[in-house]
Structure formats: C-alpha cells, structure tokens
Amino acid sequence: MTVYQVSHVSVWIIGFGRRTGWVVLMNDELVPHSMAAYRLSVLPGDGTGREVMAEALRILAVFEENSPISFEITEIPCGGQYYLETGEEWPEGSFEHCRDNSDAILLGAIGWPGARLPNGDMAGGQTILGLRSGLELFANVRPVKLYKGVPHKVHGIHKQVWEPDLVDMVMIRENTEGLYHSLLRRMEQRAKGQKDEPIVIDEFPGLEGEVAWDPRPISRKGSERIVKFAFDLAHHRQKKLGTPQSVTCVDKSNVSRGCQLFRKVFREIASEHEGVETKEAYIDAFTMWLVRDPEDLDVVVLPNMFGDIATDLASVLQGGMGMAASANLGPNHMLFEPVHGSSPKYAGKNVVNPIAMLQSVQMMFEAIAYRKNDSNLDCCADILQNAIQEHFDEGGCVTYDLGGDASTSDVGEAIAERCEIMLREQFATA
C-alpha cells in the first residue's frame, strides 16, 4: 500500500449494492480491472475522525496484504484543527487532487471548537462541503439496517427496542440544494479560488431590528435527479431482495414553495414507475412514523435539510451514530464517510465506535468494484460485510455507545482479524 502525505496538493447507469440495497451512480461504461492500485484520497479531518480513519487504514492494509487488491493512498490533512495550526483549511491543490486523481474519497470528520473563518463559516467546510458541491455529489445515501446483537440506548439502558428483521431501509437525501445551498456554494467557490457576489435583500416586511436569513432554493433539475435515483433504487431492491418496495417522499409541501415543487416532481416521476408503491409524508409526522413503524419504510427521499435531520434520527434505529455509514455520490465522483462528526469531547481517548467508518469502507469497496468491474474487490466487500455481521452475531467487543467498554482500536483490531482469516481462506489458492 503506497501512502503519500500531501503538503500541496456524463451519462449514468445504476449499480445495485446487493448487501445493503443502495445504488451507486457510475459512468456509462464499465472499466475492466487492470490490477492497478486504486487511488484513494484519505481525509482524516478533525477529532475522532482521525481515530476512526486509523482503523480504516488498518482494514485497508489487511485487505492489501491478503488479497489481490492494492491501493495508492494520498492522505491530505484538513479541517478545523489544521486551520488553527496553519491558517489553511487544507493544502493548496487538494480539491483538484480529489477531483482529478481519485477513484474514491474517504473522509473522517470535519469540525473543531473555535475553528471559524473570518466570515463565521466553519473552518474545514471547503473539504466536505466544497467537495459535495464542487463534485456534484448530489445523492447522500444512508442505509439504515439493524444488525442482530446491536442494542439501543433508551433511558440510559442498553436493550433491544426495534427488531433487526424490521429495520432495513435506505434514506436518500438531496445533497446540494435547499437550505444549505448558499453555504455549499460558498465552500465550493472557496475550494476553487473563486467568489460569488452576495445575494442582497434589504429588508423583510413586518420584521424589525437585526435579521439573519438563508435562502432555501429547490430546483426541478435537482429534484428530478434525486427522485429518479430513489425510484431506480427501489426497483433494484425489489429485484434483489424479492420483496415489494415503496418510495416515500418526505417534505413540507403544505407550507414551503420549494417543497411543493419537490412533491410535484415526485408525483410526476412516480407515475412512470409502475410496480413501486408510493407514499407521501410531511416531515413532522414522518419523524413519528420513522421510530414507530420503521418496517413500513423501504426507500425514503428527502430534500437536503430534512434529510440531514431525519437520517440522524434514523440512526437510533440501528444503534446510534456510531453505526451510521454514508455514501455521497455523483455522476463521476464518490465520497464515503461516517456521519457521527468529530466528537471533540471524546477526541484522543480511543473510545468511539469505528463501525460507521468500517461500514463506509465496505460501501466504498462495493462501489469501486462495480465501477471497475472487479470481482476480487467485490468479494472483499462481501468479506468485510460478513466480518462486521459476525462480530455482532458472536458477541464481539463493543464500545461505550453500545454498552461495552472496548476501545476504538479494540473493535478495529477484532474486525481486522476476522477479515484476515476470511481473506486467507478466500485467496489461499489465488
């Protein structure tokens, strides 16, 4: 595994992730694997992001040592801590490297107390937000699946509340528009060394004194591509899982004009997809249904802000944020990350759950394998998935958030050891 430290730096088809039932957007031509090393841009970021990234690198090393797969890793320092140390959010040229020289991007976490840009924006934002907007990573894919053996923490007690067989959905969040559009755009422009003229509204009739505001644009183009993505996913889940699937549109179209357009587009596209049940919900009622009846949900599509909130709530169903992996997908690029944030109060203590990061690596394996038509990497994705599942099935060590006392590295090492055994069995005669 070659690791570099950095100091400076279309047409889609749908591929189905058969293990978690999520979709990846790919170029229109599958490229046969040529045994060249896969180029990974690794962004550890801040706080506990660095600690879980260490476990991801441990897993990558195990797979490279015990399979035909190899990686060329460029590790790029970034985030709020890096900003406080250097005055930069990441080294010059980092955006271009991620854009032009990466098969995939793996991110730890961004955000650190006191790390703010002069305009008040989060320092390090151009890393995750600039990439999200600048690379058109419009689909945030969040599988919500509960493993057997994973408890839920309610009233300070760890116990099973939801049944594993009844929690299996994928939430699709529009990733580039809505309430966060202005911030995303600012961070994209900053990453590219450019700048937009600010939107100016002099006053809001009926409001006096100091007023702060953010626009919330939702476009037809953005709505069409995310809703089509959701329906394509539902068809693939229906085919692969052998069970009827539904797509639920969640918005606030009884109040918001942007959501009215989102709902309108949803209904238009739904009419073209026979055989997939459609449901509609307002976000406030949906939050209740999500925790009360998760078995009624298969694929859920949401505008940006509502998706941000609802997916974090959904993580409770699978054991918490330490279990929540994600993919950020676009026409030509993809970024994978756990969604628990940098957790500054736990940073440096080696106590946080690395499973969300390891599950993000598994999603990355699966996506690259499909794009590169690599059966060996696809097998590796299976092995990592099975190792995580068996770890919980057999009562493996867990971190504090799941009621255990294991360290981050304890769990990472245990998963790595399982993977090594499976890999040797799989590739012993290769």
How do residues 147-160 score in pLDDT, each as one tens digit? Answer: 999 999 999 999 99
pLDDT (0 to 100) of residue 33? 46
3-state helix, strand, coil in the chain (%, to 5): 45, 20, 35
The CA distance from 383 to 187, in Å, is: 37
Which tokens hold the place of 156?
A: 């300070």
- Residue 147 DSSP code: P
Arithmetic mean of pLDDT, 165-171: 96
Q: Does 208 map to a domain? A: no
- CB 28, CB 12: distance < 8 Å: yes
Which tokens hold the place of 364?
A: 């990355």
- CB 114, CB 85: distance < 8 Å: no
Which tokens hold the place of 371?
A: 């794009």
Q: Does 204 map to a domain? A: no
126: pLDDT confidence band, cut at 50, 70 and 90?
very high
Beta strand segments in 89-193, E: 104-109, 139-145, 152-154, 157-159, 168-174
pLDDT (0 to 100) of residue 14? 33
Q: What domain range includes position 285?
A: 2-196+214-427
Dihedral of alpha carbons 16, 291, 248, 134, sign: negative
Arithmetic mean of pLDDT, 65-84: 97
| Mean residue pLDDT across the chain | 92
DSSP assignment string, 113-147: TT-B-TTSPBTTHHHHHHHHHHTT--EEEEEEEPP
The CA distance from 104 to 101, in Å, is: 9
- CB 112, CB 170: distance < 8 Å: no
SS3 at position 207: coil
End-to-end CA distance of the chain: 19
Q: Does 202 map to a domain? A: no
The CA distance from 376 to 1, in Å, is: 17
DSSP β-bridge partners for residue 109: 45
pLDDT (0 to 100) of residue 371? 86
429: pLDDT confidence band, cut at 50, 70 and 90?
low
The CA distance from 21 to 17, in Å, is: 5
Number of domains the chain is built from: 1
Query: Which residue's structure tokens are 């422009």?
Result: 189
Query: What distances in angstroms separate CA 397 from CA 157, 208, 231, 319, one per listed residue?
Result: 18, 56, 38, 15
pLDDT (0 to 100) of residue 414? 98
Predicted confidence (pLDDT) per residue in 26-56, tens digit: 444 444 444 679 999 999 999 999 999 999 9
Q: Does 11 map to a domain? A: yes
> Would the pTM of this model clear 0.85, i.e. be above it?
yes
Q: Does 224 map to a domain? A: yes
DSSP β-bridge partners for residue 104: 40
User: What's 120's domain CATH number?
Assistant: 3.40.718.10
Which has more pLDDT, 195 or 304?
A: 304
SS3 at position 5: strand
Q: Does 85 map to a domain? A: yes
Q: Among candidates 252, 304, 314, 283, which has minimal Cα distance to 137?
A: 304
Predicted confidence (pLDDT) per residue in 221-264, tens digit: 999 999 999 999 999 899 988 999 999 999 999 999 999 999 99
Beta strand segments in 324-383, E: 325-329, 334-338
pLDDT (0 to 100) of residue 196? 86
Which residues, other chains included, contact 193 with Cβ-Cβ below 8 Å and sequence gap of 6+? none
Arithmetic mean of pLDDT, 185-212: 91
Which tokens hold the place of 293?
A: 């009846």
Arithmetic mean of pLDDT, 329-335: 96
Arithmetic mean of pLDDT, 102-130: 95
Q: Among candidates 424, 372, 415, which has minimal Cα distance to 397?
A: 415
> For the chain, what percent of residues have pLDDT higher than 90?
86
Q: Does 361 map to a domain? A: yes
Q: Does 334 map to a domain? A: yes
